[in-house]
Amino acid sequence: MEKGEIPENANDHCPGPSSEAAGKSDDCQGCPNQEACATAPKGPDPDLVAIAERMATVKHKILVLSGKGGVGKSTFSAQLSFALAAKDFQVGLLDIDICGPSIPKMLGLEGQDIHQSNLGWSPVYVESNLGVMSIGFMLPDPDEAVIWRGPRKNGLIKQFLKDVYWGELDFLVVDAPPGTSDEHISIVQFLQATGIDGAIIVTTPQQVSLIDVRKEVNFCKKVGVPVLGVVENMSGLCQSLTDFRFLRMTETGEHTDVTEKVIAYMREKAPEMQDLIAASEVFDSSGGGAEKMCSEMGVPFLGKVPLDPQLCKAAEEGKSCFADQKCGVSAPALKIIIEKLMTNYWPNEMSVE
């Protein structure tokens, strides 16, 4: 075991062998390494120096966080990366959701492997200017469960940061797991000395999601990570009226598909309706949604992205929603949010672009 490396059999929330609290904190009670850690010489973690050297070639580092799972955080990370790469920036996407790595699928990279060179691990590339790293590339079976305790997860995150050779990057987007757990503490601790631009937090409109997003905002404030803004995802279902299926419910509760009849009637009797977008509130936003929460907590509100079936399809197929006109309701909303981020935080990059 290298100096500063957390043993695989350590307790959850291990402070690390090099910490002044090693072997002494409450989290160390009952750990088989407690005595060794308590008596071991302390000092700075040499891996942090290696991480700083790797990150020296990365201009901007963005964390994408969420309070809850299933709110579209990874979809946003993927589309943000696609959009930045489309602007000719050099982009890296680092997936540190160790137990639920969905980024390889959302970038169309399932089945790819990591390769090593004399410079370190090489990212898997979607395009020449968009590289990706994920534990998903390391699993022999995509259905295999990753059953790891905190210390082992943290060790892999550290390895990603110090061993992956990204080269010169304009943006490194870090897709984190939901919540405020060991992975979040580790990524902040490992990157803090190199400078983190901030965090984008993704939520859905209802209170059950916003309750946890408040915790995420407070986490960022406590660890000193600026909140770049909050995105309200799945903000109402929006799609072309002609993309809906129309059903008639029978007296027995069964459904009969009458879509063809409805579309034919619309085409004949009201052709102007074919250009309409239908919208419906899926999640309750009567509490004011993310915009009100941002106002109360003093953080920027970046905007709303509707629940668009075409965006869901693009994510399933590992494609950019900006590549064609299919994501007609979600792509413009995402573009406005990304342009707002560029204007507010990286105006110099826009002038270069």
Residues annotated in a binding site for ATP: 67-74
221 CB contacts (<8 Å, ≥6 apart)?
Answer: 227
CA gap 309, 206 in Å, rounded:
20
Q: Which two tokens stand for residue 99?
A: 């137990």
CB atoms inside a 10 Å sphere around CB 36:
14
Q: How far apart are CA 8 and CA 5, in angstroms?
A: 9
The Cα 85–Cα 339 span in angstroms is 14
Binding residues: 14, 28, 31, 37, 67-74
Cβ proximity of 7 and 15 under 8 Å: no
- Cα–Cα distances (Å) from 150 to 15, 181, 239, 255, in that order, read 11, 9, 41, 48
Under 8 Å between Cβ of 62 and 198: yes
Annotated binding site for [4Fe-4S] cluster: 14, 28, 31, 37
Q: Greatest CA separation found in the chain?
A: 84
